[in-house]
Structure 1
Amino acid sequence: MQKSLLSAAALALVVVAPLAQAHSEGDIILRAGAITVNPKADSSHVKVDRGSLGGTDLGGKATMSSDTQLGLNFAYMITDHVGIELLAATPFEHDVKLKNTGLPQANGKLGSLKHLPPTLSVVYYPLDPKSVFQPYVGAGINYTWIYDEHVGSRASAEGFDHFRASNSWGVAWQVGADYMLTDNIMINAQARYLDIDTHAYVNNSAVGDGTRAKVNVDVDPFVYMVGLGYKF
């Protein structure tokens, strides 16, 4: 009988223990992992907006490469179901290419740029706070700071210089899930959509007279992150 009671007690602990592995009001959650930014990069035609060729539509479009960096999430649970979350990361770097323009010398890699995408969101966890599996949805605002733009060697040889792109504000949407491994440690996966729009400019000194090309780019990337989290 004693063995039966001990076995029942042990089983009860196994069943009940995960119930303690919950997100609750006042928790601070730190997550870290690999984060990938995959730009959709739907752009306008490339147009000349300054110089003797001003107003010329060169056609074509701009594209951007993907990049993976270290992603960080900092979250604070306002209630058992609602939290505030800040997304940060080490700087992303993207190659920028032009294709199918009316100037063959403009096609190919134009250059590269770096950006940081801090994103502040409100997140909602719909399940019982005691569940070890915690899916969530969120919405917020993103600020994308673009810097360190530079023209590639091939484009520079064609006379392109002074490449630059504007910063961006936009909305952000996300879905994700935590799975608690212990009371404090979790596995996390998340996907986001960021509304990022930028205006990119590049001069061409080979043509002279202040000739500058412009393209509007809806970067609008999907962002994916997988990693581990720790709850304080």
Structure 2
Amino acid sequence: MKKFVVASVAFAALLGGAAQAQEFSPNAKGDFIVHARITQVAPDKDAAILTAAGASTGLKAHVANDVKPTLGFTYFLTDKVAVEAILGTTQHDIRAQGPGTDVLVHTAWVLPPVVTLQYHPLPAARVSPYVGAGVNYMLFYSSKDKNGFTVKLDDGFGYALQAGVNVKLKGPWLLNADVKKVWFNTDAKINGGALKSSVDLDPLVSSIGVSRKF
């Protein structure tokens, strides 16, 4: 997460320096920004697959990364405080992995809307960083079982922290880099509960894109 933020800020600063001769407008109450981004959703780690009685199977549930286009919508309540909502969906493979085993058991689409309250400390700056915190809801849909397995994933709420930067270009246009860390746990029931896994998805949601102010 630190590496992404540092790289994003450095990239934004470079672009901002190249655009110094152009006019731009500072943040202001009532501004509405639409972000068109490319986003990677990267779940944090694998989770142990257990029997119904809680015994170890030696297997782990691995949830793959995915990259998709997303939209973000930011509204400024003041020149320094804004609220953002993101809209996007990603598809993830779930594999059972262990010694001598690597089997695809399930694929699922997830709709993870995140709403954050942001603080922008430098509203008049061309390169304008921000931080935020908020909540999300993980909704799994269009799921498909694979290779004779059945998997049920529980929807639910989580929470998120955010850091990013806007680089203001000429007129209403901006460049945006954004990273969110989402904490979310889901219970997976496999083969009707014969196997189970408590999966801390905790994805890192990394985005970069072009934005327009209205």
TM-score interval, normalised by the smaller of the two chains: 0.7 to 0.9
Alignment CA distance shift 1:17-1:94 (3 Å): closer
Alpha-carbon RMSD across the aligned residues, in angstroms, is 2.1
Tell me how far apart the structure 2 counterparts of residues 114 and 219 of structure 1 sit (CA, whole Å): 14
Answering whether residue 124 of structure 2 is matched by residue 130 of structure 1, we say yes
Match of 1:98 among 83, 96, 99: 96
1:131 Cα deviation from its structure 2 partner: 1.4
For residue 36 of structure 1, what is the aligned residue in structure 2? 40
1:30 Cα deviation from its structure 2 partner: 0.6
For 2:43, the aligned partner's letter is P
Show the 5 A alignment for 1:38-187.
Answer: 38-43=42-47, 45-49=48-52, 54-89=53-88, 91-100=89-98, 107-127=102-122, 129-152=123-146, 155-156=147-148, 160-161=149-150, 163-187=151-175
1:211 Cα deviation from its structure 2 partner: 6.1
1:134 Cα deviation from its structure 2 partner: 0.9
1:136-164 Cα deviation digits (max 9, x unpaired): 00000011101222222xx22xxx23x21
1:108 Cα deviation from its structure 2 partner: 1.8
Tell me how far apart the structure 2 counterparts of residues 139 and 15 of structure 1 sit (CA, whole Å): 31
For 1:117, the aligned partner's letter is P
1:16 Cα deviation from its structure 2 partner: 9.3
For residue 202 of structure 2, what is the aligned residue in structure 1? 220
* Contact in 2 for aligned 1:149/1:165 (Cα 8 Å): no
For residue 27 of structure 1, what is the aligned residue in structure 2? 31
* Contact in 2 for aligned 1:92/1:114 (Cα 8 Å): yes
How many residues are treated as equivalent by the alignment?
A: 196
Structure 2 unaligned spans of 5+: 1-18
Tell me how far apart the structure 1 counterparts of residues 133 and 60 of structure 2 sit (CA, whole Å): 30
1:108-131 Cα deviation digits (max 9, x unpaired): 21121110110010000011x221
* Contact in 1 for aligned 2:40/2:205 (Cα 8 Å): yes
Tell me which stretches of 4 or more aligned residues in structure 1 moved more than 6 Å: 14-17
Tell me how far apart the structure 1 counterparts of residues 22 and 209 of structure 2 sit (CA, whole Å): 23
Alignment CA distance shift 1:186-1:99 (3 Å): same
For 2:92, the aligned partner's letter is H
Structure 1 unaligned spans of 5+: 1-13, 204-209
Tell me how far apart the structure 1 counterparts of residues 183 and 115 of structure 2 sit (CA, whole Å): 13
For 1:215, the aligned partner's letter is S
Tell me how far apart the structure 1 counterparts of residues 197 and 165 of structure 2 sit (CA, whole Å): 37
Tell me how far apart the structure 2 counterparts of residues 109 and 60 of structure 1 sit (CA, whole Å): 13
